[in-house]
Amino acid sequence: MQRYFQLCFFLYARLWPLNAVFSLQALFFASTAEYILSAVMLAPIIKLGGYLGSLAIHYLFSSRTYPFYRNLGYSMRHLFAGSFFIDTAIFLLLFLIVLICRP
């Protein structure tokens, strides 16, 4: 199980730059939105769009890495799910901090 989390972090490191841009955009929207409800509703949609975009880019341009993960005995779906949960946990933590610290 520890190896699974290490591989999820390794995969997430490749997806991180684009995910960080969408996370910062969603957090900025949450901090500047006039109504909290609109921030709560739209920020996860922005974040999900960014994650789907990074997955599409990963599927298009890095087909050479799949045999590496396959030889380790893990499917790409499980690793993408793990990286999604890592990204979601980080985003929710930052989102809650932004909502609490909001004036």
Residues 80-98 have pLDDT tens digits of 888 888 888 988 999 899 8
Tell me 73's DSSP state: T
Per-residue DSSP letters for 1-45?
-HHHHHHHHHHHHHHHHHHHHHHHHHHHHHHH-SSHHHHHHHHHH
Per-residue pLDDT of the chain (103 residues; tens, 9 = 90+): 678 888 888 877 878 888 888 888 888 888 888 888 888 888 888 888 888 888 888 778 776 667 777 777 877 788 888 888 888 898 899 989 988 887 7
Is pTM, for the whole model, over 0.85?
no
